[in-house]
Amino acid sequence: MLIKRITVGEIKVPLKVAFKTAVRNVNEVHDLVISIETDTGLTGYGEAPATAAITGDMLGSMRAALDLIAPRLLGKRLQDFNALLRTLHKHVAQHRSLKAALEIALYDLRAQAMGVPLYQLLGGGDPQLKTDITISVNDAAVMVKDAQRAVAEGFDCLKIKLGGHTWQDDVDSVLAIERAVGPHVALRLDANQGWTPKHAVLVIQAIERAGVALELVEQPVPAGDLAGLKFVTDHTLTPILADEAVFSARQALQILAIGGADVINIKLMKTGGISQAIEVANLARLHFKTCMVGCMLEAAISVTAAAHFAVAFDDVVSYIDLDGPQLCATSAVEGGMGMDGPWITLPDAPGLGITAVHGLTNVKVFDV
């Protein structure tokens, strides 16, 4: 089974409401979509968002990197799977989101060739997940309304974006949301690197003293401040999640070795795809830690792949943050994961279960 064609295009999907964090403000998903076709008629799909502020990936740079990688994959056998993965990773540095898209498409093809859903290829599991939903940083009154709307739609776990205001404003926003939705709704906080270590401890301890039991706090300090991350972990009762601090298995090992965080956030766009995500999950298991499987602001292709991964590694994945498609006003994808409020259900179809992607622009084809 040979790779005969690689196609790249772009999709734009509007969001229901603006996505605001401490580092960016976005109104639409604008991602690369990659399809890889074999000489037997199979097509695998992958997707990569341009998240310059976090991963450094931009649409133009990813497309330029693909110009170097795609010709090296054409004509190769899908059966030489590990060699294909080595090829796509070794010829261009960084560009993790692009590599993730290529890996996702290859794993999709491999599962299709074996006639099983991707989650079964990766090790099985229950093909249903429950995700949180993001509440963007905003004025407290707006955040409360957004939280109430999410709960009315069936979500019982909210990820609250903070870090864009003073520490007291952050505390007040969380307490106002908790009062509005009640204690039965789980709250996760995400500062997106927006606090100093002391600022983080001040905010978290103030919320703890107010009697609000947070489920976790995500990446409270800048990604490179491992000592600061450990300081927050050591001085708060709430579990601390490392996100931007962990892109690779090596970085995960650094965090785990020093006890720098309680939970590791695995995102395929950070790890460069499924193969490295597997290594991070295995390291967490060896260190008796749990993981979250999350996403950037992505549409249904890559989030479907992340859901398959989370299902297969459900023994170490305790938290799901795969709300990207729920934040979109429309979908350009046929097939893939089903969504019903917070519930994600994976199809029994081989691979990702995706059958078509519509509305691609700026299409380029690489042929044998």
pLDDT at 22: 65
CATH 3.20.20.120 domain locations along the chain:
121-354
Active site residue 267: yes
> Contact at 8 Å (CB) between 105 and 46?
yes
pLDDT at 17: 81
pLDDT at 304: 98
159 marked ligand binding residue? yes
In tens digits, the chain (368 residues) has pLDDT values of 999 999 999 999 988 887 877 666 778 889 999 999 999 999 999 999 998 888 999 999 999 999 999 999 999 999 999 999 999 999 899 999 999 999 999 999 999 999 999 999 999 889 999 999 999 999 999 999 999 999 999 999 999 999 877 889 999 999 999 999 999 999 999 999 999 999 999 999 999 999 999 999 999 999 999 999 999 999 999 999 999 999 999 999 999 999 999 999 999 999 999 999 999 999 999 999 999 999 998 999 999 999 999 999 999 999 999 999 988 888 889 999 999 999 999 999 999 999 999 999 999 999 98
Out of 20, 99, 161, 230, the active site residue is 161
CATH 3.30.390.10 domain locations along the chain:
3-115+358-367
Sheet with 186-190, strands from edge to edge, namely: 133-135, 157-161, 186-190, 216-218, 240-242, 263-266, 290-294, 317-321
Out of 230, 267, 270, 289, the active site residue is 267
pLDDT at 28: 86
Active site residue 12: no
- Calculate the average pLDDT of the chain: 95
pLDDT at 317: 97
For residue 299, the number of C-alpha atoms closer than 13 Å in the C-beta half-sphere is: 31
190 marked ligand binding residue? yes
- The domain defined by 3-115+358-367 folds into Enolase-like; domain 1 (3.30.390)
Residue type present at position 334:
E
290 marked ligand binding residue? no
pLDDT at 24: 66
> Contact at 8 Å (CB) between 9 and 362?
yes
pLDDT at 323: 94
> Contact at 8 Å (CB) between 273 and 100?
yes
pLDDT at 16: 84
139 marked ligand binding residue? no
CA dihedral (307, 273, 243, 237) positive or negative: positive
39 marked ligand binding residue? no
158-183 per-residue burial string, b: 16 or more CB within 10 A, e: under 16: bbbbbbbbebeebbebbbebbeebee
- CATH pick for 121-354 out of 3.20.20.120, 3.30.230.10, 3.40.47.10, 3.90.550.10: 3.20.20.120
